[in-house]
Structure 1
């Protein structure tokens, strides 16, 4: 089953901010950590994982920071989960019983996992950025 931990939440929050300044801008970890009230040290380790998977790159020097390696529309939520979570998204093999009921449950969970994976692959950082922009502009209302 796909697990979404704080690492994924923080990675996405970081990436939304970096997407805001795409294509020419960059942000430091300290800037985003401050805006999002996230531990800078923890965010550094997450950004390191994002960098190693090619989702962000560093701009060195004075005023340096991080920028997206790809357009926001080319970074899926699934890619972000894959980059920062220790387990690859997908079906867990925890249930190993050979009973008929276990088989039925495994099939249902596998189907749910497939649907979630397809959804996460279809949603991009650009989608999140658009939602963020709408919230910032005060255009999104909840009843």
Structure 2
């Protein structure tokens, strides 16, 4: 399940993708249009800026804008930044792996093997879709 932070972050990125290229958009414009708390949106946009998805311009006419073309931003990267692991269990995560405390043998664990399939299916979709794919439809 996606958190509100992730859903709102994706909504904000879609809004920015549909804005004129490299023209800063104010937090107020995004929060009003997408019905997102301004304070909550500020923290999300700051994270997206720190991780290289966005740039910001200060002062009058300032705001946030996409740093890359939406076609170059994979959905998997957005989800990982905002949500964390894509895998449903830490023992199958590619980037956030942790051994399950209650599992003695991952190779024989039926849940582990099923969750690898689930992870791989989700990754196939998320890595092959970009922000442009969802923003422009």
Instruction: Indicate the TM-score class for this superposition, using the shorter chain for normalisation.
Output: 0.7 to 0.9
Contact 1:22 1:67 in 2 (8 A): no
- 2:59 equivalent to 1:89: no
CA displacement 1:111-136 (0-9 Å, x = unmatched): 111110121111111011112xxxxx
CA displacement 1:32-86 (0-9 Å, x = unmatched): 111111110001000011001100000122010111000000111111112222x
Higher RCO by CA contacts (8 Å cutoff, separation 6 or greater): 1
Which position in structure 1 is the counterpart of 2:62?
64
Which position in structure 2 is the counterpart of 1:130?
136
CA distance in 2, matches of 1:99, 1:23: 51
Give 1:26 shift.
Answer: 2.1
Aligned length: 127
- The equivalent position to 1:113 in structure 2, one of 73, 95, 119, is 119
Q: Could you list the runs of 4 or more consecutive aligned residues of structure 1 that deviate by over 6 angstroms after TM superposition? A: none
Q: SS of 1:109's equivalent?
A: helix
Which position in structure 1 is the counterpart of 2:12?
14
Give 1:22 shift.
Answer: 4.2
For structure 1, list consecutive stretches of 5 or more residues without a partner in the other structure: 132-143
Which position in structure 1 is the counterpart of 2:52?
54
For structure 2, list consecutive stretches of 5 or more residues without a partner in the other structure: 92-99
CA distance in 2, matches of 1:115, 1:95: 25
Please give the root-mean-square deviation of Cα atoms over the aligned residues, in Å.
1.9
